[in-house]
Chain A
Amino acid sequence: MTAELPINLAANPRLSRWLRFDAGGFVAVSPGKIEIGQGIATALAQIAADELDLDIGRIRMVPVTTAASPNEGTTSGSLSVEQSGSAVRHAAAEARAIYLNCAAQRLGVASDRLKVEDGTIIGPGNLRTSYWELADATLLERDATPGVTAKVPAARRLAGTAAARLDFPDKVFGRPRFVHDLTLPGLVHGRVLKPAAPGARLTGLAADVGKLEGVIAVVRDGSFAGVIAETEAAAEAALTTLRKAATWSGGEALPEEANLAQWLRTAPAETTTVDRRTAAVPPRVARTLRRQYSRPFIAHGSMAPSCAIAQWTGSDRVRVWSHCQGVYNLRADVALALKLPVENIVVSHVEGAGCYGHNGADDVAFDAVLLARSAPGRPVRVQWSREDELAWAPMGAAMAIEIEADLDPDGEIVGWRSDVWSNGHVSRPGRSRTPTVLAASQMAEPFERFIAFNPPLANGGGAERNQVPLYDLPAWTITCHRLLTMPIRTSALRTLGAFANVFAIESLMDELANERGEDPLAFRLRHLSDARARAVLEAAAARAGWSSWRARDGAGHGIGFARYKNFGAYCAVVAEVETTAELRVRRLVAAVDVGEVINPDGIANQIEGGAIQATSWTLLEAVRFDKTRITSDSWEGYPILRFSDVPAVEVEILARPQERPLGAGEAAHSPTAAAIGNAVFNALGVRVRDLPITRERIIAAMG
């Protein structure tokens, strides 16, 4: 029995917002979390079907829209199964009870003598009715109440089984599924001009673009400029002409790529103490090991360039179709930027490609809103180019990290000081008084460019995410320096600061273990009292055959561990690398504890995918730039891991059916990077502390 409502249900208590029984024999389930390729819609359908005693085929997942859906904020941070799952579970359990009461009255028996089989409600003797016979929207026009009993884990049929993803058939048969494929009556096409440099002002636009065939309007609002045309091809052609006609001035100089860590450490910053732990007895420090680590800016690199449709339905009313991660958040930013009441704006979610965080989705939606004002009543579809997506979407922030470990005369760790220098990791829309969408800073009446911040540590933090070690160390001082200048725009990329912090912590732990001649696994276990943490390390090591590894030339293995955000999923990874001709990751073995598992194949898919994406980040990825602009604006300039270079990945999921479910989407990244770095050391005896671990950096480290 739950004493309190799940937090997202408490915020959106009306049951009809979450569920609707349809006489046609299905239940529409309407969560506020968004499908971004992670499979949340399927997991939530499993949960609802379980509570309602339905075949999963009777669940219809409703796309998220500000017109109807509960407001569950942003779909991010690996929180959806936990937050939305508990809300859907409770709402469904309560709806089931309401329908059983209704059936009990109709059939004249007590509700506890009724059972449900795929929507048919069955009582003693031949008594029968169904959700579909009883379907009545008014039944759920009431607020959820605490005290509803959801099923115990053992009574759930679908949770814990590998339900097939509901969205995959459309994708395999090439049916329209993405916002890119959406057609609306009267649809026209827009393209937007990107500045010559971040923050540059548009000083001239001398062109007769408006006379080009098929062009409906040339739009200019300060330094924001674009075109609307009848066809996509005409819009592309007009944009090319517009680009040649544009003159730009000014812009914010970018830092020097070759001295990125130095820039991070010296730029104006706000310093906060993240955490401090003091030893009861002042330690005897025999020596201090000081190490520096870094990671570059990393691009989200969605396979689809961002795309949106906007349609003004009056002088002050607009509809938006977007693959953003938070429809209410985008709506708030559009309202702020255009000084409109939020009620005048409807944002509806349509799937896009995987985004891995805050990519260009919100920006292009606002582009579409601005352009579409010049074609009243027409839906205007705007799609960014590949160059735009790789150069103008927010980046995952570059980070410089320094850790000092104090060692006592026995070489044991007695003190730990960690400093992180980084831009903030979040500039998502809808969270501040300044809109963060790109074009808001380009309009004739511009808003100041938003400087990314870090969410509170209680929510996982940003640059300081996973900066506090999970190890049992007697003392530490954890300090975060958030940059107050942002020449390269940053926002949430999967794992935020955790990736670099875990890479640093796990590299140093590995180094300390090796210095002492201790097995890196044993050394970690000796500093970990958390049983679930120990279990994933032991499981990954056992599965990988850690202790039976045979050292040989040109090969190495390494281990890495983290509990995401220090309160999320546990994950340990063993990496095996080859270093003969070039560095290749051959095998990754991950063990993960995500609490209760709703869809084991969904978890495995997320862990495999996370490990492979992290391998790409670790070996290859860095945003490239010169003094004025991002230069890595193609897949040739920003290479990612290809099929032939992808390692074998094995995943072991530890069963914890009694624990609350935790998201898996970001658990594997950081331990993977650490394990690869440690495997490189194991193979070659050198440590590369700056990501990505390239051939050049390995050679430099070998001195």
Chain B
Amino acid sequence: MNARASEATTFTLNGVERTITADAARSLLSVLRDELGLTGTRFGCGVNQCGACNVIIDGQAVAACDTPLWATAGKRITTIEGLGTPEHPHPLQRAFLDEQAMQCGYCIAGILMSAAALLTRDPNPSETQVRTALDRNLCRCGAHNRIVRAVLRAAKEEAP
């Protein structure tokens, strides 16, 4: 078995156009972490069952672990590193700190991306809608209710 020939794939990552030359069958997660050094997106299961590696692709929360590189051609990708910064945090990042909405924090990047996609789609979701939107994200520490409070808080603080 030989590694497949590398191909060039171009996408917009956190607002910047990037061209990656790599095996196009490789997962986006592997490219983000190992090629681009963006380790904020976490590996949890590798088969899209836990949400730890969620990123936003063209507005949708998507598992980076089972998204092949070729499928990202021409897309707009946002990772946790592109969501906000300590100087200019995303309202969700501020709310998660205000609510102390985690314990170990390993699942949090993926949850923030799912929540950000939800708030873009629906800036004023109900608690039930928040929970439904996060049902594909697992949290083992039991921080769920804090997380839901934080998402609702971010939505409220952003409300016009």
Contacts and interface: CB of A to CB of B under 8 A. Distances in A.
B107 to A, nearest CB: 5
B119 interface: no
A38 to B, nearest CB: 7
B96 A172 contact: yes
Nearest to B27: A233
A640 interface: yes
A302 interface: yes
Q: Is the interface of B mostly helix, strand, loop or mixed?
A: loop
B109 A37 contact: no
Contacts of A695: none
Nearest to B80: A174
Nearest to A213: B3
A377 interface: no
Interface string B30-62: 100110011111111111011010000000000
Contact of A234 (B3, B106, B146): B3
A169 B50 CA distance: 22
A457 interface: no
A112 to B, nearest CB: 39
Contact of B105 (A176, A177, A611): A177
A304 B43 contact: yes
A610 B142 contact: yes
A383 interface: yes
A303 interface: yes
Contacts of A181: 39
B1 A212 contact: yes
A78 to B, nearest CB: 14
B26 A233 contact: yes
Contact of B44 (A232, A304, A610): A304
Given A608-B145, A609-B142, A643-B135, A305 B43 contact: yes
Interface in A599-622: 601, 605-606, 608-613, 616
B93 interface: yes
A241 interface: yes
Listed residue (A171, A176, A301, A610) with the most chain B CB atoms within 10 angstroms of its CB: A171
Nearest to B147: A643
A351 B108 CA distance: 15
A351 B104 CA distance: 9
B49 A634 contact: yes
B155 interface: no
Interface in B139-160: 139-148
Contacts of A635: 45, 49-50, 138
Given A173-B86, A174-B109, A303-B107, A636 B49 contact: yes
A605 B100 contact: yes
A186 to B, nearest CB: 15
Contacts of B132: 643-644
A174 B44 contact: no
A172 B141 contact: no
Q: Which of B42, B132, B135 has the largest number of chain A CB atoms within 10 A?
A: B42
B146 A304 contact: no
B100 A164 contact: yes
A642 B138 contact: yes
A180 B112 contact: no
Contact of B106 (A183, A214, A354, A385): A354
B132 to A, nearest CB: 6
A590 to B, nearest CB: 12
Nearest to A386: B45
A307 to B, nearest CB: 9
Contacts of A241: 1
Interface string A149-187: 000000000000010110111111111111011010000
Contact of A649 (B38, B47, B145): B145
B29 to A, nearest CB: 10
B28 interface: no
A648 interface: yes
A374 to B, nearest CB: 21
A644 B133 CA distance: 9
A553 to B, nearest CB: 24
B51 to A, nearest CB: 9
Contacts of A234: 3
A231 B135 CA distance: 33
A637 to B, nearest CB: 10
Contacts of A583: none
A382 to B, nearest CB: 13
Nearest to A616: B142
A62 interface: no
Interface in B59-112: 79-81, 83-86, 89, 93, 96-97, 100, 102-109, 112
A307 B55 CA distance: 22
Contacts of B39: 174, 176, 180-181
B105 A167 contact: yes
A356 interface: yes
A613 B109 contact: no
Interface string A316-359: 00000000000000000000000000000000000111101000
Contacts of A684: none
B105 A605 contact: no
B76 to A, nearest CB: 18
Q: Which residue of B33, B85, B130, B142 has the most chain A CB atoms within 10 A of its CB atom?
A: B142
A183 B34 CA distance: 10
B108 A172 contact: yes
B30 A233 contact: yes
Of A165, A233, A385, A616, the most chain B CB neighbours within 10 A belong to A233
Given A37-B104, A168-B97, A304-B106, A173 B45 contact: no
B134 A611 contact: no
B131 A168 contact: no
Contact of B103 (A37, A634, A643): A37
A500 to B, nearest CB: 19
Contacts of A636: 49
Interface in A372-428: 383, 385-386
Given A180-B43, A213-B3, A612 B142 contact: yes
Contacts of A214: 3
B43 A608 contact: no
| 6 cross-chain pairs, A with B, having the tightest CB-CB distances, nearest first | A174-B40, A37-B104, A612-B142, A171-B105, A609-B142, A174-B80
Given A174-B40, A634-B47, A643-B134, 17 more contacts: A172-B93, A172-B112, A173-B80, A173-B86, A174-B39, A175-B40, A178-B106, A180-B42, A183-B37, A212-B2, A303-B44, A303-B50, A304-B106, A305-B44, A606-B103, A643-B132, A644-B132
28 contacts: A38-B103, A162-B100, A164-B97, A164-B100, A171-B102, A172-B108, A173-B86, A174-B41, A174-B83, A214-B3, A232-B34, A233-B26, A234-B3, A301-B140, A303-B139, A303-B140, A304-B43, A354-B106, A356-B140, A386-B44, A612-B144, A613-B141, A634-B45, A643-B131, A643-B135, A644-B128, A644-B131, A649-B145
Interface of B: 1-3, 23, 26, 30, 33-34, 37-47, 49-50, 52, 79-81, 83-86, 89, 93, 96-97, 100, 102-109, 112, 128, 130-132, 134-135, 137-148
Interface of A: 36-39, 162, 164-165, 167-178, 180-181, 183, 212-214, 231-234, 237, 241, 301-305, 351-354, 356, 383, 385-386, 601, 605-606, 608-613, 616, 634-636, 640-644, 646, 648-649
